[in-house]
A and B are shown apart, each in its own frame.
Chain A
Amino acid sequence: MIPFLALVRKDLKLFFSDRKAVIVGLLVPIVLASFFGFLFGGQSGKAETSKVPVLVIDQDESNISRSLITQLGGDKNLDVKPATLDAAREAVRKGKATVAIVIPKDFGKDAGHALFTGENKPELGVLYDPSHNVELGMVRGILSGAVMQTVSKEMFTGKAGREMVNESLTQVENNPRISAEDRKALRDLLGSVNALNERQNEHREREGASGQRELSGGLTMPYGTREQAITSGQDIEYNGYAHAFSGMGVQFILFMGLDVGIALLMLRQSGLWQRLRAAPLSRTMLLGSRTVSASVIAGFILLVLFGFARVVFGVHIRGSFAGFVGVCAAFSLMTAAFGLMVAALGETVEATRGYSIMATLIMVMLGGAWVPTFVFPAWLRRLTVVVPTRWAMDGLDGMIWRGLGFSSALAPIGVLLLFTLLFGVVAVMRFRWRTE
């Protein structure tokens, strides 16, 4: 036991002897986690998102096109500005605007006709930046709603609408291809629209005189939404720092594990390795002590990170504390085993550092430490099940802000321990003990 404890104590002493490295090693994840936490909504979880820059080219200049532009400009997600076609095209090409909407001449009139007849639909031009497909989808949805509401409102309540209904009535009366029954039905429909138009007009005049608010009119979405973030409790708001500190903790502990592996590779090339191997020490003791010391250091990093997050950003463990400790311990062990595997499989220090950094970054990314995994393609999301960091993130999120119980930590802990076993077995089997 004396040699084992001495090996662990020596590793810890060496780690803490370089105080600058320790401070920087803790400061960097804290700064990054604070920054990402702020970006992801901060303590209230309600960060104001930036508006999508949209340019509008109004070639119609009708009531409908002006109403449409006003409607779009009122949306909280869009920053709408008028532009000429050439200027808009250039702005989208340079990435200064995400979408440009071209309202063609006679759009209002043609859209009104198309509303009743379904024929000769006018086309809105949409110029977009192909690197912003997600925003394009959002703009498309907002635009559909706005066009529907603006055109239907004008048709049923506006002056242009009345003119168009009268014009349509005349066309119906004079069109010999329409049968008598159809003519009667259309006459009744358009007559009713006309009557509604008149009533709306009178209603508006009365409201204008009394100072009451005018009804919006037109076709609108037949439902509203009431949004509620589901966190650990009804009155507990989501804290954006919780996920950010988990993500950065996972990332930097993985890098620490990597350092353990690289250090072991370098140790193998030094006289120290010969001295250790000349002593009556078993392989299990040499690798086991490394695992324990690396796990203790990882635990220390997590303790400082979450201690800081709690004191400064109010990140609380809303779920099972035992589950949180279990996930941290399992992840620390997994990281230490990962480091040993790197040392076992590595050839030269330089090459190993290169490809193990790449492997670590991929694990961090696929684990969802940087961005949520829902942005990945479906096949990649399925792949994350075999990435240990995904389980660590799920476990930490579950215990910290989702407020889940200990039973929910069992799966992440179990999977992380399985990875520990796998990496550990590979490390012991492939580690080259001899110095030849």
Chain B
Amino acid sequence: MLEVKHLTKNYGKLVAVTGVSFRADRGETIGLLGPNGAGKTTTVSMIAGLLSPDSGEVLIEGKQVKSDTDPVKLKIGLVPQDMALYDKLSARDNLTFFAALYSLAGAKAKQAIDDVLNLVGLSDRAGDKVETFSGGMKRRLNLAAALLHDPQILLLDEPTVGVDPQSRNAIFDNLEALKKRGKTLIYTTHYMEEAERLCDRIVIIDHGKMIANDTLQGLHKLLPVTNVIAIDLDDADGFRPEQMLALPMVKSCDLQEGTLRVGVHDLSRGAPGVLRWLAENGHSYHHVSSEQPDLETVFLTLTGRSLRDS
């Protein structure tokens, strides 16, 4: 459906994007995850044909966008990061205009407008001026405007920036509905929770470079530990974590405020061995739980920096 091959874009000496490659199939959601300024928007702009890459190519169903009026562009719907609406016009007038840009008019346009308004839950506000909408409603209308011509690929550039949790959930519901319809979604975000919830595959970009491209599970495997066993000890005095590191299944061990965190690769084999060793060495405990590292940990591991602090 969509193939991005070795995209590179420089602004003078500044390398905005270098060597980014990934592929997205029908019904698949790809997350472009990275801190602000990582190169996500530049990548999306090149996919949408707004920027021409210095090298590399974007193929949509095997074809490149060759000109401003190339029909291949009909397969793409762009939801820009900045709100792309006319505040002084009503929601319906906005959608009528954007539909006309794709040569939709008359009954076809009306049907498309009704459908997208219904999808984003704004049918009852269709006649109101956009300037009277809340931030969340504007974001939903911003999404609706990109769906009018029924594109196969939807490019979403941080579509939830500045919205309340309720509107964010509404947008997620919309996107999940679109995914079920077989749409291909390219979703840029710097919120790991969003990527974890929505995306089938995650492309991590930092300083313009693609540093990972895998499923969530695949990314976890890049970590030295994939599971952490958290054990609340009855008496932590005198416990020496380095003793536990001698066990073959234990990859890491850390004791803080009475809670022992033990990193293992395989929880099913690692957990019984760890608990047995504690019992045999006289360390009683009152609570055991398992934790899985999140994308924040993945990013930290891969870049040495926190995603939020970047």
Please tell me if B69 contacts chain A, counting CB pairs below 8 Å: yes
Q: Once bound together, how far apart are the Cα atoms of A9 and B86, in whole Å?
A: 13
B166 to chain A, nearest CB (A): 23
Q: Given A2-B100, A2-B105, A277-B50, answer yes or no on A282-B82 (Cβ-Cβ < 8 Å).
A: no
User: Could you say which residues of chain B place their CB within 8 Å of the CB of A434?
Assistant: 50-52
**Complex Cα gap A280–B81 (Å):** 20
Nearest A residue (CB) for B49: A278
Task: Tell me the chain A residues, 268-297 only, with Cβ under 8 Å from chain B.
Answer: 270-272, 274-283
Q: Could you say which residues of chain A place their CB within 8 Å of the CB of B68?
A: 277, 280-283
Closest Cβ of chain B: how far from A265's Cβ, in Å? 15
Contacts A275-B78, A278-B76; is A13 near B93 (CB within 8 Å)? yes
Chain A residues, Cβ within 8 Å of B172: none
| Residues of chain B contacted by A271 (CB below 8 angstroms) | 80-84, 142
9 interchain residue pairs of minimum CB distance? A6-B100, A271-B82, A271-B80, A271-B84, A279-B101, A278-B78, A275-B84, A274-B80, A17-B88
Residue A3 contacts which of B48, B82, B103 (CB distance < 8 angstroms)?
B103
Residue-wise, chain B 51-84 has the 8 Å CB interface mask toward A (1 for contact) of 1100000000000000011110110111011111
Given contacts A2-B100, A281-B69, A434-B52, contact A272 B105 (CB under 8 A): no
- Say yes or no for A227: interface residue by CB 8 A criterion: no
- 28 A-B contacts (beta carbon < 8 Å): A3-B100, A3-B101, A6-B97, A6-B100, A9-B97, A10-B97, A14-B86, A14-B89, A17-B89, A270-B82, A271-B82, A271-B84, A272-B85, A274-B50, A274-B80, A274-B84, A275-B145, A275-B146, A276-B101, A278-B78, A280-B68, A280-B69, A280-B74, A281-B69, A281-B101, A283-B68, A434-B50, A434-B51
Which A residues touch B86, using CB under 8 A?
A: 10, 14, 272
Chain B nearest CB from A96 CB (Å) reads: 53
Additional 10 contacts, C-beta under 8 A, given A6-B96, A14-B86, A281-B68: A10-B97, A13-B93, A271-B80, A275-B84, A278-B49, A278-B50, A278-B73, A280-B68, A280-B102, A434-B51
Q: How far is the CA of A434 from the CA of B52 in the complex (A)?
A: 8
A1-29 interface (Cβ within 8 A of B): 2-3, 5-7, 9-10, 13-14, 17-18
In which size bucket is the chain A interface? Answer: 20 to 34
Residue of A nearest to B71 (CB): A280
Q: In the complex, what distance in Å separates the CA atom of A6 from the CA atom of B94?
A: 11
| B142 contact set on A, CB distance < 8 A | 271
Q: Does A436 contact B (CB under 8 A)?
A: yes
Mark interface residues in B250-271 (1 if CB within 8 Å of A CB, else 0).
Answer: 0000000000000000000000
Q: Shortest Cβ distance from B96 into chain A, in angstroms?
A: 8
Contacts of A225 in B (CB 8 A): none
Instruction: Point out the residues of chain A lying under 8 angstroms from B80, CB to CB.
Output: 271, 274-275
Among B51, B77, B97, B104, the most chain A Cβ lie within 10 Å of the Cβ of B97
Q: Which residues in B have their C-beta under 8 angstroms from that of A282? A: 68-69
B45 at interface by CB-CB < 8 Å = yes
**What's the nearest-Cβ distance from chain A to residue B179, in Å?**
21
Q: Which residues of B contact A14 (CB under 8 A)?
A: 86, 88-89
A17 to B71, CA, bound (A): 33
Q: How long is the Cα–Cα vector from A3 to B77 in the complex, in angstroms?
A: 16
Interface residues of B in 100-155 (CB under 8 A from A): 100-105, 142, 145-146
B284 to chain A, nearest CB (A): 60
What 1/0 flags go to A84-105 for Cβ under 8 Å of B?
A: 0000000000000000000000
A279 B73 Cβ-Cβ under 8 A: yes
Q: Is the interface of A mostly helix, strand, loop or mixed?
A: helix
A residues at B contact (CB < 8 Å): 2-3, 5-7, 9-10, 13-14, 17-18, 270-272, 274-283, 434-436
**Residues of B within 8 Å of A, CB-based: how many?**
38
For the complex formed, measure the closest distance between the CB of B87 and the CB atoms of chain A, giving whole angstroms: 10
CA of A234 to CA of B87, assembled, Å: 56
In the complex, what residues of A have CB within 8 A of residue B74's CB? 280
Least distance between B85 CB and chain A CB atoms (Å): 7
**In the assembly, what is the distance between CA of A272 and CA of B48, in Å?**
14
Using Cβ atoms and an 8 Å threshold, which residues of chain A touch B73?
278-280
Most chain A C-beta atoms within 10 Å of own C-beta, residue among B11, B50, B93, B98: B50
Residue in A5, A280, A435 with the greatest tally of chain B CB atoms within 10 Å: A280
Closest to A10 in B: B97
In Å, the complex CA distance between A18 and B131 comes to 13
Q: Which residue of A lies closest to B98 (CB)?
A: A275
Q: Which residues of A contact B145 (CB under 8 A)?
A: 275
Q: Are A280 and B48 in contact (CB under 8 A)?
A: no
Is B100's CB under 8 angstroms from A278's CB? no
Inter-subunit contact A270/B93 (CB<8 Å): no
A174 to B46, CA, bound (A): 112
A5–B97 Cα gap in the complex (Å)?
10
CA distance A271 to B98 in the complex (A): 13
Residues of chain B within 8 A of A9, CB atoms compared: 97
For B101, the chain A residues whose CB sits under 8 A away are 3, 6-7, 276, 279, 281
Q: Say how far B282's CB is from chain A's closest CB, in angstroms.
A: 64
With both chains docked as a complex, state the minimum distance between the C-beta of B109 and any C-beta of chain A, in angstroms.
9
Cα–Cα distance between A6 and B73 once the two chains are bound (Å): 19
B11, closest chain A residue (CB): A436
Closest chain A residue to B99, Cβ basis: A6
Complexed CA–CA distance, A278 and B149 (Å): 12
Residue with the greatest number of chain B CB neighbours at <10 A, chosen from A6, A7, A275, A434: A275
Chain A residues lying within 8 Å of B93, measured Cβ to Cβ, are: 13
Report how far A6 CA is from B101 CA in the complex, Å. 7
Pairwise interchain contact B102-A279, C-beta atoms closer than 8 A: yes
